Structure 1
């Protein structure tokens, strides 16, 4: 079994978490992270600092979006 673990920092980028960090969540950065992680062809991906928030009435689900991109499931 191949396992990958990754801290995605809620896709806000490097540095300390700013006030209102959820306003800096970046879908393009999440897609880039998914492309990079996908190269490992992992059976299991363990993520840290994952965003699951409502932003302007829109649900931001880093894990769900990444799972869909990689053809995997969130558990």
Structure 2
């Protein structure tokens, strides 16, 4: 799972370089039980996800770069 990092000061200050594509949104739902790889609740289907050389990933929606943080447990 990933969380939108918009408004997080240290993330917005990062200098990053986009890497290769690591995924693409293939379905959209707001029901947690239906989530699996490639599912999003806000990003539109077809959105490409890219790795960066930092702890964040980047999604590109309508030419706008959106940064996301991976949510890790334990």
Q: Give the TM-score normalised by the residue count of structure 2.
A: 0.28
Whose helix proportion is higher, 1 or 2?
1
Q: Give the TM-score normalised by the residue count of structure 1.
A: 0.28
